[in-house]
Structure 1
């Protein structure tokens, strides 16, 4: 079969009301431009006759048994025959008759071409106000901040891409966050991404959309956070650690008396110790999460991060943890001796309590580092590509170490 240039892909779940007009518009675009292409409907288990409607309209129907928006798109992309794929919802909110700008950008060498509804225009009633002014702008801003991309509309459902390039990204999500995963991984891999203005019209369905605002919005935000350990763990951890160290250093000599008469003392010193503990743990999570995600293909590898991990060997982490724990034990022993000298009565808040807080902080942080070092090393265990023992194990009952050696039948008959 001759290779096609373009596949127009529509995920479908009970879109009988609007599916035919979407297919007709897509076919009119192919006929007008003379592009060798096809229209594929990735059906996700419709029960309203959408499959028959699609086939009657001339589209190729691909049944996708795994439920979910992302699963339907992933299955459709796998079955697409075109070099390029343009995907869009089958609810008649996007104009499949005018895809010229997408094809032009794809032919120019862009691996991913995103539609931008905010640049192209949103018709009245086409998008709920909380999506238009809150959900989409906030999530798109978070995506730009976390991943340093210029995409203005992270969640536009109309987009085109080079099929092979997107398949190589190994997209994994099966739900609505599939849209975010495509943009994030394409950005992290350094693929060429472009945007074109796209108009959004009110959909032609009489039923409620499949999208659930808060549930799917949270899934998108959760995905963005999980794919950026820096913003989820590292930066908050560094902020807490710096605050704890600075505050602890200021309060170590004694209470801080402000000009307003407020005295900052042991309670704030204790909060600073807590911030140090939580900050160290958060930074550890960032390193472990980044190592795990890059090792198993969720996030592309980073040479700079790999150099940091090479320096942070298990042995060095354990050495630092032991030093902290020994220092904490020494300080703890000193505090206990001070307490014993006072007949196990009230401790001196000016000196002894401060030392005891530092001692417990050093012990906890040292223990955290030790456990984090072992966990990080577990994720770095090589994945074997073959069996350690290549020779097949002979059949027969297993022998114990103290069993007598088996006799050779030939010799036993002599």
Structure 2
């Protein structure tokens, strides 16, 4: 149980957990992960024979990591010390863990949420939206991403390699379990109004943003790759059509001015795709993301030599088109030009020059990030 000034509710939580051990004849321990309490929480825990450990760094995640690492059990169940969860009814979690699941999540929406136990924004906006994004990004079949009551094996925790120190620790545990191919399930659990008289530590907007930011940064395919592919395809297709001829519909003519925007779409989309590649390498090499089976193949498909060849080819085509545009200008004795004709040469030339330079720079940086390979 993470603890920061929980003197009002800590004793009842410890006693409920102790009653669970006794009723089900379980050899267990209660670990209180203190996060800098200034009230009587520590004394209460020690008087009730709970094991108290102190987190050196502030934060929900830091407290939980300290407590989990100090725990000596085969299975670990974590939950808030505010008496919102029923520690006397943990058998559904333990049964699932004994069945072989690595992570067992509680589902408060299936088990029941007492009136006023969860703020309106959390219940109808924050949790559903973040849970939907988590399921979409990581293909995880659970419906309550942020339930504070969950169980896992100590062996599974060690595979997760968790890094965050704040409230986003809850999201990281689920995401890392999925990325490491650990088995996840959920059980119904109840949530009642907590027994504290003070405000909760959870901050709606700032902590919600921390969760959302984490989900986006750990899904570079959704953050960079998919938007990049979409932008690049739209830019490429429209640019090709506009280079061939102006596009007319409903009395509107799209010409070279539109071509400059579609070329920009292509460039921006390519930048997104580049950022995906660089982010992926950086995250894996720094152990922020686990290595997938396809990761090693990436270096066979993309390498410095191939990138330099493609980049210089794009540069040469861009230079060729530039000289062609210069030739068209020279034919008019460097006078006025038909912009509709010349810009259909110059805009693709500039676009290809930029794509070539970006490809070369990407190949060099990609190789630096992958030096360990």
TM-score under structure 2 normalisation?
0.97
Distance 2:159 2:318 in 1: 50
Change (3 A) 1:333 1:199: same
Change (3 A) 1:345 1:202: farther
1:171 to 162, 167, 179: 162
What's the CA shift for 1:344?
Answer: 4.2
2:219 to 221, 228, 253: 228
Partner of 2:325: 335
Distance 2:51 2:367 in 1: 49
- Residue 30 of structure 2 aligns to a residue in which SS? strand
Change (3 A) 1:342 1:214: farther
Partner of 1:212: 203
What's the CA shift for 1:168?
Answer: 2.3
- Residue 152 of structure 1 aligns to a residue in which SS? coil
- What are the superposed Cα offsets for residues 278-299 of structure 1, whole Å, 9 maximum, x if unpaired? 1111111111211222222222
Distance 1:71 1:378 in 2: 32
Distance 1:162 1:347 in 2: 73
2:337 to 322, 329, 347: 347
Please show how residues 86-97 of structure 1 align to structure 2 within 5 Å: 86-97=77-88
Distance 1:344 1:142 in 2: 57
1:57 to 25, 28, 48: 48
2:152 to 132, 139, 161: 161
Q: How many residues align?
A: 373
Please show how residues 76-87 of structure 1 align to structure 2 within 5 Å: 76-87=67-78
Q: Which of 1 and 2 has greater Rg?
A: 1
Partner of 1:393: none
Distance 1:196 1:344 in 2: 77
2:133 to 138, 142, 154: 142
2:90 to 99, 105, 108: 99
Distance 2:53 2:339 in 1: 73
Partner of 1:126: 117
Larger CA deviation: 128-137 vs 264-273: 264-273
Partner of 2:274: 284
Distance 1:303 1:346 in 2: 58
Structure 2 spans left out of the alignment, 5+ residues: none
Please show how residues 5-404 of structure 1 align to structure 2 within 5 Å: 10-258=1-249, 260-382=250-372
Larger CA deviation: 84-93 vs 338-347: 338-347
Distance 1:224 1:346 in 2: 54
Over aligned residue pairs, what C-alpha RMSD do you find? Answer: 1.3
TM-score under structure 1 normalisation?
0.88
- What are the superposed Cα offsets for residues 58-86 of structure 1, whole Å, 9 maximum, x if unpaired? 21110112111101001111100111000
1:254 and 1:350 in contact (8 A); partners too: no
Distance 2:196 2:252 in 1: 63
What's the CA shift for 1:187?
Answer: 0.8
Larger CA deviation: 194-203 vs 326-335: 326-335
1:102 and 1:160 in contact (8 A); partners too: yes
Distance 1:103 1:382 in 2: 41
